[in-house]
Amino acid sequence: MKGIDEERYNFIKGDISDYELMQDAIKDANVIVNFAAESHVDRSISNPYSFIQSNIIGVFTILEVLRKCNPSAKLVHISTDEVYGDIIHGSFKEWDRLKPSSPYSASKASADMLVLAYVRTYGLNAVITRCTNNYGPYQFPEKLIPKTIIRASMNLKIPIYGTGKNVRDWIHVLDHCEAIDLVMQEGEKGEIYNISSGEEKNELRSCYRDFTCVGKR
Ligand SMILES: NC(=O)c1ccc[n+]([C@@H]2O[C@H](COP(=O)([O-])OP(=O)(O)OC[C@H]3O[C@@H](n4cnc5c(N)ncnc54)[C@H](O)[C@@H]3O)[C@@H](O)[C@H]2O)c1
């Protein structure tokens, strides 16, 4: 894999809700960073089942393995700012109430609650990060920016949500990774860390600012 030191890297293909597999994978780890999730909001609306399975049962499985086999390990659980729902003005704080608006964000919020409960009940050393929208190389083409670029380059219609004026913060994936690295090293047990770039854009600006060709509309 490009940019990966093969000597220090071990790829195991499997489902995070498979207890035995996860036991083998993480029982001796010092730090576990859980990125695995069903992540596409639209798909969560048309078919939520896999979101509940991966995003809730999967995280529950990781927590159970840690509780029983590796209680001193540190878990960095990657959540999302979508657990907060919408805001009219300003930005969310870590202690704001959760108001998820899709099965995706509800499943992520549920997992966050489980993580916090395992910190409180069993003393697990876990932290949660909640990041805004990511962009960057190799992003799955169902996500807004790659989808928009691909469709625009094919001269196809580009889907816009609502009026396209909803404001979102966009962060480059490497900046997100840098923040996760910091949380991995210095994040305190039971804490939640919001991550953003401060680069808020509405959907129309995110999609069209740098385009001369915007496809058929
Ligand atoms: N992309 C964003 O804008 C964004 C923003 C904030 C938080 N996040 C979070 O970051 C994480 C990664 O998001 P992404 O955008 O890279 O998503 P992605 O869908 O591109 O990647 C998620 C990966 O998890 C894997 N996966 C799903 N269910 C699994 C399971 N049961 N067992 C093992 N693997 C499983 C998928 O196969 C996929 O490779 C997710 O937890 C997501 O909620 C993403």
Q: pLDDT tens-digit profile of 79-99?
A: 999 999 988 888 899 999 999
Tell me, yes or no, if 104 is annotated catalytic. Answer: yes
For residue range 46-78, what is the model confidence (pLDDT) as tens digits?
A: 999 999 999 999 999 999 999 999 999 999 999
**89/101: higher pLDDT:** 101
Does residue 211 surpass a pLDDT of 50? no
Does residue 133 surpass a pLDDT of 70? yes
Nearest-CA residue for ligand 1 atom 34 is 36
Residue 213 Cα to ligand 1 midpoint, Å, equals 30
Residue with tokens 């000597």: 7
Atom of ligand 1 nearest to the CA of 133: 3
Query: What is the average pLDDT across 159-185?
Result: 90
pLDDT at 168: 84
Residue 216 Cα to ligand 1 midpoint, Å, equals 31
**CA distances from residue 143 to 115, 169, 212 in whole angstroms, order as listed:** 27, 15, 21
pLDDT at 216: 27
Residue 217 Cα to ligand 1 midpoint, Å, equals 31
Tell me, yes or no, if 86 is annotated catalytic. Answer: no
Taking the domains of the chain in order of start, what are their residue ranges? 6-134+170-198
Tell me, yes or no, if 82 is annotated catalytic. Answer: yes
Bridge partners, 153 (sequence order): none
- The strands making up 167-172's β-sheet, listed across from edge to edge, are 133-135, 167-172, 200-202
pLDDT at 1: 64
pLDDT band with cut points at 50, 70 and 90 for residue 177 = very high
**210/136: higher pLDDT:** 136
Q: What percent of the chain has a predicted confidence (pLDDT) above 70?
A: 92
Across the chain, mean pLDDT equals 90
- Among 7, 28, 49, 82, the one annotated catalytic: 82
Query: What is the average pLDDT across 169-182?
Result: 96
Q: State the greatest distance between any 2 C-alpha atoms of the chain, in Å, as a whole number.
A: 56
| Rounded CA separation 115/63 (Å) | 7
Please tell us whether the domain made up of 6-134+170-198 is placed in CATH 3.40.50.720. yes
Instruction: Tell me the best of 12, 35, 176 to mutate to test the pocket of ligand 1, counting ligand atoms within 8 Å of each CB and taking the most.
Output: 35
- Among 38, 84, 104, 112, the one annotated catalytic: 104
**DSSP string spanning 14-51?**
--TT-HHHHHHHHTT-SEEEE------HHHHHH--HHH
Is pTM beyond 0.95? Reply is: no
| Rounded CA separation 32/25 (Å) | 10
Does residue 209 surpass a pLDDT of 70? no
